[in-house]
Structure 1
């Protein structure tokens, strides 16, 4: 069954997102294209307008002069602002202003006539009149003829065109940004739904138990005719394989747990019989040879150890099946005090230190199981550290949690087993070597982790040479 996947609120323009990059890059391409188009259009317009102005200059220069100082009149075919100068006689250096604006001074006119005759007009500034396009030629009589028109005939329409083109360019860029955003958001919706499905799968508890994966990508997002659809179809197939693998793992774990529970339960009776017969025989130890008596004592000790191992295995099997803890408001202060007293009696060679707060610390816990957690941590410190080690047990309340820590100044936990120290049968064979006379099944810390997890708490390890601390946090009532 396919369960609809809730899509989180889209944030397409968040920094670093694919949508943001696509929208910005698309907008940048449109901006570059429109700006380039506007630039080349303006350049072409400039050349056309200047060519038209040059044509008007040529026409004005070829036209017959009106007469001296005729001035500029409205309706002149050459257009307002025309300057027309003709040399009075060849080589005389005197010029008549056949047509010129009133603002043209003698000095300004002198700057025009000193130009070399040429077939191509030039652009220059005229004092008091601004930029002009100037054409100078020598006529058949050897006289110098000057014609000039304001360059504003080019600049004014070109400026107007550039303003219009700039507004259209900005509008095109803004429109492309909005359009690209809409298109990209719509195009990436299937990918966002796929990401939401992957996020939901990542949040599922898959580490243990019957891990069922109800999440699938919908058929519309698993269409193999497009790229995202192929990813969605592959994602669904991957989830099918993962679910099958998790189901197989769960069946295997269930069989192993059941086998351990059954085997442990069946071992209790023969172990009890072995211990009973051993104790009965040891009552007459005085009549037995020394070797036989010693062998029976070892059998009795090892049967005790195996009984403890069987009980631990049974406890872990029950915890794996979902323990039914008796959670009640528990006085953790008294519990820790009793556990340290027991550890002091079992390990008088160690230095046992208590650090308790002034007020009583309570927790919502199973009293017997939480006591077992503290006792196992103290036993771990006693068994895996040399005589004379200082073991400090601290209790405090932090927010809504009761915090118990057991620290020692022993050799520390080897780095290679720190990550799996709470796994079953994990042992420190190098630094924290089990001391002579110590007893360990290799399940103590595994029981600690399982019981604390059943309480809804956490247990952590902080270890370095000369310092090891186990910290347990359980909820307060």
Structure 2
């Protein structure tokens, strides 16, 4: 037969079986002890039996026979006498029940003198307890007591034990089901809650979280797992929405130059006899838009490569040299419209000097980050706005950077507090950004001014690329800004073990 499959059924039947075995064991021990005690009482009666003085009659010959006036005994005792030669001499005892079944001679008597034994009756189911003892003049006799009282008491005790066992099993099943149902009530509530969660209500949580119970600890673990699953689902939805927005933005960015190229190509096909000046202008527009599209595709490919965990070089990098190269290149591009200077990180301190900041990384990619930050400052600030590039070392914190702070924006996780860091900070004195725009500054294809053309404002991928490169080096790019206070873009990199500033 198949056993119950449910946990409740297994617990009920398991507890009932164990309890029934325990009750049955106790009953068996009780029966054995009771039987042993009753049998010992019978044995004591046999050992304490005193043979009456007139039980034997003396004759001239050395044969001892039972006296005629002693044919009955005032009890359940039965006596069987054996002569000196071992032959049966007779029996004494009253009652109408058949006596013990004994042989005619002591040679056939399978008893040990002075030791009790149990023998069957001459007829019927009653058994006798017998004791072989020595009598006068080398005679012997066997004294016996029936065990009907003992066996009757044991029969009644066995019947009572059977009734008690049956009642205990029935009671255990009934009580066990109630106890198990009450004990499994938290699991039942978990089951109902899980059904609601699977039906779509992912915000529900399991109610039983008492750490003192097994179900409570299970509920706590499951709630943590549900929180992580919900967080993962949220991140997945966010990633999907971000991917859809990225694809839409990329399509929009590519459509503009493609439309321009397509329009001039169709114009050239429809009007091949245009003047040379118009053809040259059209060719310049086609080349310019093709270049824009090529740059956009390069940026997209670079982002895709950065998202796939690219392998960066691990060469010694001098952050001061990188900053100096970026400032020199920016001065050539700006042609005097934006004054760019190179300063120590702690420029407010008197006697502060530029220091060589050494770390390990990919110098070309890190130079790309610095150029991007500096170019972003030059493009998005009014002409003649000073831009200061600061280089130095510090420890990660609220003041130096590298950790989160109110009003600070970054797309990368913060560094551990007090981590030795190298910093390149690009600070401008422009109009700054409001908080809602600063929060989205590192999003792909995001432009602070949507009306700005791609020629003036770029494609909106530069800061996203810079943030991805910095995060790939174990650091991050962050922004501190406020309306009217300018912008401070900061490249924060952990210093290599043993790196020193000079």
TM-score tier (shorter): 0.3 to 0.5
What's the TM-score, normalizing by structure 2? 0.45
TM-score, normalization: structure 1?
0.47
The structure with the larger Rg is 2
